[in-house]
Amino acid sequence: MTGTRPPTGPPGPQGVAPRAITAPGQPTQPATAVAYPHSRFTPVAGVEVHHEVHGPTTAPAVLLSHHFYGSTRTWRHVTADLGDDHRVVAFDRPGFGLTERPARAGRRNGEVSPYRRATAARIGWGLLDHLDVGRAVLVGSSAGGTNVLEMYRRQPHRVRALVLLSPAITGDVGPPGLLRRPLRSAPARAAGAALVRRLASEVDIERISRSWFDPQRATAQDAEPYQRMLRVDGWDQGLWDAITAERPPDLSDVVRSVDVPTLVVSGDHDRVVAPRLSKTTAAAIPGARFALLEDCGHTPQEERPAALLAVVRDFLDQLPG
């Protein structure tokens, strides 16, 4: 899993007071019970989607899509700054954060799995529709880069620009593609959830900072969002379903079709998606800019937010209109 990382929660939405956050291995709770002060929950494509919105309603919109195992809150170091003059929307894709984990086995009538990339793209656009956002700059980190490129594939006319942070263009986290279908069987799902609980239920500072350039920079606050998602009902089954939902992506064709201003960013010590791969992605997009952040690993929004904001703001300031 790529680098990814929460005290008794604040009052939940609609004034619902949360219960105390449980320790790993203890009973889980509804997501609303562990919500953050700015948490919102909206039904999109049959899923209660957790998101936050910052900034003026009339400002240009920016959508933030997190990395694998990340969440809305892993953007917290950049949302306030960008929210000064943009309408910033950050959301949790199905399987992560505080977004609902629907029981995949219970979905009938030909509904598409909520954990597939197509559904995550539909949810992104559906959420923006709910917020009355027409066009937006789409920002994606790692697997979030996959998500925003899928969104671009479906509605390119609504994309003002793209910002891709070490985007996962080919491949992703999880088992080999040929194994994923059998791993979606009922017995395999049950065993998979148990395996996920054993491997992922203990999250600490050391673990979440393994993909950073300097793990000494990480604090308990960086680990908090990763720990909080483990308190949500169905987190283990949802994570397994997200890992095995479909074959790994190959978005090379989408990359070549991009026709909007694009910024590709990489940390110079990214060991998850090597900087040379991000540079290759930038070279494949006509007119794309490439920025290399010094002394930075895979998730600059967590490790080097000030450096990331500097290059992103410079890019946004130069957009037409």
pLDDT-above-90 percentage for the chain: 68
Instruction: With cut-offs at 50, 70 and 90, classify the pLDDT of residue 321.
Output: confident
The answer on pLDDT for 12 being more than 70 is: no
Tokens of 6: 């929460």
Q: What is the pLDDT of residues 54-96, one digit of tens each?
A: 999 999 999 999 999 999 999 999 999 999 999 999 999 999 9
Does residue 315 surpass a pLDDT of 90? yes
- pLDDT of 11 above 60: no
Consecutive H or E run containing 283: helix 275-284
Is the pTM value of this prediction over 0.75? yes
293: number of CA atoms within 13 Å, CB side?
27
Mean pLDDT of all residues in 11-25:
37
Token reading at 227 = 């720990």
Q: Residue 176's pLDDT band (boundaries 50, 70, 90)?
A: low
Mean per-residue pLDDT of the chain: 86
What pLDDT sits at residue 17?
Answer: 32
pLDDT at residue 73, rounded to an integer: 97
**Mean local confidence (pLDDT), 137-144:** 97
Task: Annotate 216-281 with DSSP letters as a single string.
Answer: GG--HHHHHHHHHGGGBTTHHHHHHHHHHSSPPPB-HHHHHH--S-EEEEEETT-SSS-HHHHHHH
**Alpha carbon distance 314, 317 (integer Å):** 5
How does residue 198 score in pLDDT terms, banded at 50, 70 and 90? confident
**Given this model, what pLDDT does residue 210 score?**
93
Are the C-beta atoms of residues 165 and 262 closer than 8 Å to each other?
A: no
Which residue, chain included where needed, has tokens 């996959």?
146
Which of 125-129, 170-174, 276-280 shows the lowest mean pLDDT across its residues? 170-174
pLDDT of 113 strictly over 90? no
Domains and CATH numbers, the chain: 13-317 (3.40.50.1820)
